[in-house]
């Protein structure tokens, strides 16, 4: 009987140690060596992997009354075919945006090609008038993302409501590389 208890105890101890070391190894493998650096002044997005610059794209950013917040965090959600809605006050508020007015005319929003990367801010510039961890706010929250834009002529401009915009082709390329979640792709947004 004592031998059985000893064997069971040793087996349980082994399983606990094995489980603990596997969990540590697994969490290490989930950690990413990817990050996105967004330069607001230069209107550039740099994507790094293992400390090497892999991609660089021109972007559009938030306008002066709705600036893109400075801070850092991680990509918490990858969305295929996200739906964009009108957010300005008025009769269109909340309705899905079907068409948008671009410099070369009205264009239909091609949701099949649209992609979005949700930003989870962990640290934010103390001068920003937005609370930390934006994606945890209740209904009516302000969320920010990096997403495709229909009007490519807006790239390089400060015209959004705080989100970072990329040309559709650029976003499709970036989207395939980015990892989501707490151990996924990190980001930093600076005013340089």
pLDDT digits (tens, 9 = 90+) for 124-176: 766 654 444 444 443 344 578 999 999 999 999 999 999 999 999 999 999 99
| pLDDT score, position 1 | 56
pTM of the shown model? 0.75
Could you tell me if 164 and 60 are in contact, meaning their C-beta atoms sit under 8 angstroms apart? yes
Q: Which residues contact 145 (CB under 8 A, 6 or more apart)?
A: 79, 82, 116, 117, 118, 119, 163, 164
pLDDT of residue 24: 43
- In angstroms and rounded to an integer, the radius of gyration of the C-alpha atoms of the chain is 22
Taking residue 106's Cβ as centre, other Cβ atoms within 10 Å add up to 10
Name the pLDDT band for 87 (thresholds 50, 70, 90): confident
Which of 24-28, 109-113, 159-163, 186-190 has the least mean pLDDT? Answer: 24-28
Measure Cα distances from 180 to 22, 68, 102, 103 in Å. Answer: 22, 20, 31, 34
Q: Which residue has the higher pLDDT, 177 or 25?
A: 177
Backbone angles phi, psi at 7, to 5 degrees: -65, -45
Tens digits of residue pLDDT in 2-14? 555 554 444 444 4
- Confidence category of residue 91, pLDDT binned at 50, 70, 90: very high
Q: Which two tokens stand for residue 25?
A: 């190894």
- pLDDT at position 125, please? 67
């Amino acid at each position: 009987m004592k031998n059985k208890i000893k064997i069971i105890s040793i087996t349980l101890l082994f399983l606990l140690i094995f489980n603990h070391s596997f969990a540590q190894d697994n969490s290490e493998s989930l950690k990413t060596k990817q990050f996105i650096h967004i330069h607001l002044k230069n209107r550039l997005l740099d994507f790094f992997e293992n400390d090497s610059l892999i991609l660089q794209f021109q972007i559009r950013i938030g306008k002066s009354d709705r600036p893109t917040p400075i801070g850092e965090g991680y990509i918490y959600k990858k969305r295929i075919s996200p739906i964009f809605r009108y957010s300005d006050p008025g009769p269109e508020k909340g309705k899905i945006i079907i068409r948008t007015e671009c410099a070369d005319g009205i264009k239909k929003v091609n949701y099949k090609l649209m992609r979005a990367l949700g930003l989870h801010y962990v640290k934010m510039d103390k001068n920003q008038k937005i609370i930390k961890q934006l994606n945890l706010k209740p209904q009516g929250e302000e969320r920010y993302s990096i997403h495709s834009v229909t009007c490519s002529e807006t790239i390089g401009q400060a015209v959004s409501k705080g989100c970072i915009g990329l040309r559709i082709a650029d976003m499709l390329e970036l989207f395939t590389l980015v990892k989501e979640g707490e151990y996924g792709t990190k980001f930093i947004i600076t005013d340089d």
